[in-house]
Each structure stands twice: as structure tokens, then as C-alpha cells.
Structure 1
């Protein structure tokens, strides 16, 4: 069910009821500021909820336990509270792009044991606390934040992670402890000065490495990534779009149009 944006307001959402068979609900671009706790009580079959481009300041409470895909991008959410997420045992995709989150507390995310795709691009994240215990996570996108460092233990429980986007942050080096499972790694537009063997040698499954627009002065001569087929290392920025403009990866179902490559643009040949 798609609700026209002109009808999406806090009063309408507070009174929303009467369609218990709904599986997908789109309430985007409506200026919604809050949602009544009981509004989804009868919607036990709801699988996809799209609340993008509203004015929500916190995660809605009372979301149905069977929810699998939740879009909350382009709101004003400033933190992740535990209570709204506690019952979402089946959630696979969580989109929180372009909000106002400044601190990522991973113990909250650990409630989402079936999460496969997490989007946190375009927030204000400076610090990350704890280890996210998300055994099924395959895609983590945190581009366009203010992250300067990541603990070496951060990735220790992400054994199935295949796609990691940390573009447009403040990293000065490749994060330690990257999981062996990684297939696609985007480190564009950071402040990285070198690619060292000890940071990358375990990434035997890596196919795409993107490190354009950094401050690279050295690349380890003995660096061996046997499956690497694409590497971006140019300093050019022409035609590169920010992570805030990217859409979700096609592996994670979402209603907007996806782009042609894993990081939203055509791969380039390696340029050092």
C-alpha cells in the first residue's frame, strides 16, 4: 500500500488501521514526526515498511515482529534505542541513511540477529562502541560519516561480511581485522597514506578494492590479492558521486532504482 505524500502526517498515521492483510506499506515523504505505538498492532503480516523522507526523531515503537525490511532513511533520528528493535527478530534490511546519528552503539544492533544489510551512510558517526554480533550480516555501508578509526575487534563477529563501504570518512589507514569473507571494499575519499601487507593479506576473496581520492604515497610491493579484478586508486574525483546519493545494493530488496556497479559507478582500471 502506497499512501500519497499529502496524506502522510502524524494524525493520519496515528489513526491508521483496518487493513490487517498488508505486507508492504510505504509512508514516505509525508512530514511524519511521530507514530503512535499501537498503529501497527493489527498488521502481523507486514514485511516491508518504508518511512523514508519524514521528520522522525527516533525509531518507531510497536513495529510488527514479522518485519523484514525497514527503510528509515532521510529522517532526523539521532540515536538507536533498544526497545523499538527488541521484537524485530526477522529483520533482514535496515536503512538509516542520512539521519543524525553520531555514535554507533553496537550492542543495540546485536538484537537483530538475522540482519543481512545495514545502511548508515550520510550520518554524523564519529565513534563506534563495542562489537556488532551480527552473524548473517553481508553488507555494511557507512560512507559519508566522520569515522577516523575503527577498533581491530569491530569485525571479529562479522564472518559473512562481503561488502563494506567506508568511503568519505576520515580514516588515515586501512582498518585492522577486516574479515576474510570480504569481496567488495570501498575506501574512497579518506586520508589513507599506504596499503600494507598486514592490513590486506588475509583478504583472499577480495574482488573489488576502491581507494581513489586518498593520500596514498606507498603500496606494498608484495601485496597479494589473488582474486582481485578491479582496483580504483586514482586521485581524480570527476564523475564520482557521494555516498549520500547512492541507492541500496540490489542484493537487498528496496523500492528505488539501483545502479550498475557495486559502489554505484562504473569500475575504473587501476591507476597508481
Structure 2
């Protein structure tokens, strides 16, 4: 029986090939870091901040989890711009020149948790922008020019717990847009152009429930009307919204109604239909408590003061008249008594002469 010595030549060559392939892949991963960025392999972070970038870098380490793109000149984010970084968890795009976001700008970021879009030039956001971010927990949209908040879908943003929309151009936010976020715990939207009219009543009611359940908010500070400028919406008495009660429960009807059309109420008998047309945008409640009572109080004080002044003047006149009359009467009583006390004349003392003596 012949014994053959095992040959390790093929095994060694195969091992060398695997080692070489691993080295090449490692070199390829290191070389994929953009030239203007700093890549930190242990933390899987890529820092491209303050580099004057005008677009998203095309090459990026595939295992990147943290990406810093703040303080650049990025003007737009095209569709699937981050398709090469599927494991991204934190994305910072603050202090750029973003005007719009494509509906599919964040496609592929299924693991993203923190998105910072602070201090850009965003005017509006489409509702589909955040649909591809199911794990998003924090969204910062502060310091933009956003006039209307998109309707978030709870099934997509079910983990969103922190929303920041401070210093924008918001005047109102429909209650349904926020109620669709089941995990929301922190909501900051100070320094907006809040118009505290009837259309903000639903937001007031939702905020009261949100705070009662332990939510954190910095409050809605009114910018209009002037009577409530600088006031916190939560501190405005609920009774002042009594004129707005007919609008409650009509949100669904307003959503189905075409935009730009006026809301109509059923006409009263004998009243022309065009006289009952109401414009939701011009709906403003009329406060009836504090301002009206203040005017009534001032009017009452003025009238009371005038009446008291007249009464006091009449009393003074009466007192002067009484004193004068008393003085005249006293003088009149003194004059007759002075005549009776005068000495009698001799003729009067002698009396009448007796005719018999004559």
C-alpha cells in the first residue's frame, strides 16, 4: 500500500488569495472616503462639514452611520442621494442652502434616527418626504421659512418622539397633523406667526391633552390678533372661543371641500344665500370677557363720578342757600325787637286827656 504525503500548496494559495481579497476590500473601503471629508472608522462617522460642498458626495463608506454635512452650500437633495449609506443613523444638514427636498430624497435610510435640517431656506415640505424613514426619532426643522407643516403619517413615523419647528412662518397647524404621531413626547414650535383665531382652537385642545399626558412643549405664543399678541395660547380662557364652537367638528368637511372655496351655512328663511357665506380664513372670534368688562367698568366709573359731582354741587348750593336764608331770617327777627326796646315819648306816656278836665 502506497502512502501519499498530503500537499498543502493548493490550500496555501487559496488562503493567500482570501487574505489578499480582504486587504483589497479594506483598501477599497478606506479609499471610498471623499477627499474633502474626514472618515473615522471606529465610530463609523464621516465629517464633511465646512467644506463649501454644493452637493451630496457621491462616494461614501458603505458602513457609515453618522454623516456631518452642516455649514456647506448644498442647495438641493436629489432622489436617492443617500442610497450608498443604508446604515446611516444620524444625518446633519443644518446651515445649508436647501430650498426644496425631493419626495425621494431620503429613500434607503431605513435606519435613520436623527435628521437635522436647521437653518435652511425651506418653504414647504411634501408629505412623502419622510415616508422612507420608519425609525426616525428626532426631526429638527427650526430656522426655516416653512409656512405649512406636512401631514405626517403615523404608520411611517411611528417612532418620532421629538419634533422641533421653531422660528418658521407657521400660522396654524391642523390637529390631525400632530395627532397622527403616536410616539411624540417633545414638541417645540416657539417664535412662529401664530394667528390665535378660531382655527387654532383645535390645536389648543390637542395641546392641553398633550401636556396632560406628560408631553413637553414650549407653548404657542400668539402674534395675532393684537389683543392676544405675546400671549400663550394655553393661557387664553376657553370661554373666549365660544363664537368658534360652530366650527368644531367640521374639520373633515373642510378637508373634503375644494381649497379656495368659502364655507357655507344653511340659509335662514327669507335670507339670501350669498349673505351667509363665511370665509374660514377671516374667522376671528370676538373676546367678550376682559376687554368688554373693562370698557364697561371705565364707563361706569365716569358716569358715577359725574353723578357724584353733580350731587355734591347741589348739596353745596343747598347749604349756601340755607345759610343765606337763615342769616336773612335772623336779621329780620332782630329789627322788630329793637323797636320795642326804644324809650317812649312824653306824649305817649301822658296818654289821652280826660275831656271832663277840659
Give the shorter-chain TM-score range: 0.5 to 0.7
State the alpha-carbon separation in 2 of the partners of residues 190 and 118 from structure 1: 24
State the alpha-carbon separation in 2 of the partners of residues 168 and 18 from structure 1: 37
2:71 counterpart of 1:53: yes
State the alpha-carbon separation in 2 of the partners of residues 144 and 156 from structure 1: 22
State the alpha-carbon separation in 2 of the partners of residues 32 and 186 from structure 1: 34
Partner residue, 1:155: 178
5+ residue gaps, structure 2: 1-32, 240-358
Q: Which secondary structure state, in structure 1, belongs to the residue aligned with residue 105 of structure 2?
A: helix
Q: CA deviation at 1:82?
A: 2.8
State the alpha-carbon separation in 2 of the partners of residues 78 and 153 from structure 1: 26
More helix by share: 2
Q: CA deviation at 1:84?
A: 2.8
8 Å Cα contact 2:37-2:48 kept in structure 1: no
State the alpha-carbon separation in 2 of the partners of residues 105 and 75 from structure 1: 19
State the alpha-carbon separation in 1 of the partners of residues 168 and 40 from structure 2: 39
Partner residue, 1:26: 47
Aligned pairs, number: 191
State the alpha-carbon separation in 2 of the partners of residues 18 and 136 from structure 1: 29
Where in structure 2 are the equivalents of 1:1-272 lying within 5 Å? 13=34, 23-37=44-58, 39-40=59-60, 43-59=61-77, 61-62=81-82, 63-133=84-154, 134-173=157-196, 175=203, 177-178=206-207, 180=210, 183-187=215-219, 189-191=221-223, 213-214=230-231, 218-220=236-238
1:99-121 deviation line (CA, Å, top 9, x unaligned): 01100222211211100000000
RMSD: 3.1
Q: CA deviation at 1:59?
A: 2.4
5+ residue gaps, structure 1: 1-11, 194-211, 222-272
1:35-65 deviation line (CA, Å, top 9, x unaligned): 343x12xx22211001101000112613401
Moved more, 94-103 or 155-164: 155-164
Distance 1:130 1:21, change over 3 A: same
Q: Which structure has the greater CA radius of gyration?
A: 2
Distance 1:192 1:160, change over 3 A: farther
TM value normalised by structure 1: 0.61
Larger RCO (alpha carbons 8 Å, 6+ apart): 1
